[in-house]
Amino acid sequence: MRHTLALALALALALAAGQPAPVIADPAEVVAASAERGPQGWTVSVTLRHGDTGWDDYADGWRVVSDEGEVLGTRELLHPHVEEQPFTRTLPGLDLPEGRHVWVESSTNATGWSGDRLRLPVSPSR
């Protein structure tokens, strides 16, 4: 909702000033995430959705962050996923706080790290 209002305001201001409508890139949405404990640590899987248009605007990564803001792992995405939406990628070997939660944040090459994030519980292993 916050992004929609900001986009509408930017468009209205540009049109009121007699300028052409700005090209506005959207943040990547974290659709889903899961964490699974294995012998080499935790593997996090994240599903992103973004209107990738090509090399000028695409989802270029996601990261796992603690409540304190410590980056626990980053998954770089090295190319656009124009024809594959939404898409899921994994990151193995993470040291996560078992029994608590972490946050997943997304990034695009046009907008950088999004302020939106998804809470991911780190369930104790069985």
Residue 21 lies in a domain: no
Domain tally, the chain: 1
Closest CA to 33 of 124, 109, 117, 125: 117
The pLDDT tens digits of the residues spanning 103-112 come to 999 999 988 9
Identify the helix (H) or strand (E) that includes residue 13: helix 2-16
Residue 1 lies in a domain: no
Residue 87 lies in a domain: yes
The mean pLDDT of the chain is 84
Residue 49 lies in a domain: yes
The pLDDT tens digits of the residues spanning 65-99 come to 999 999 999 999 988 888 888 999 999 999 999 88
- Read off the CATH number of the domain in which 79 is found: 2.60.40
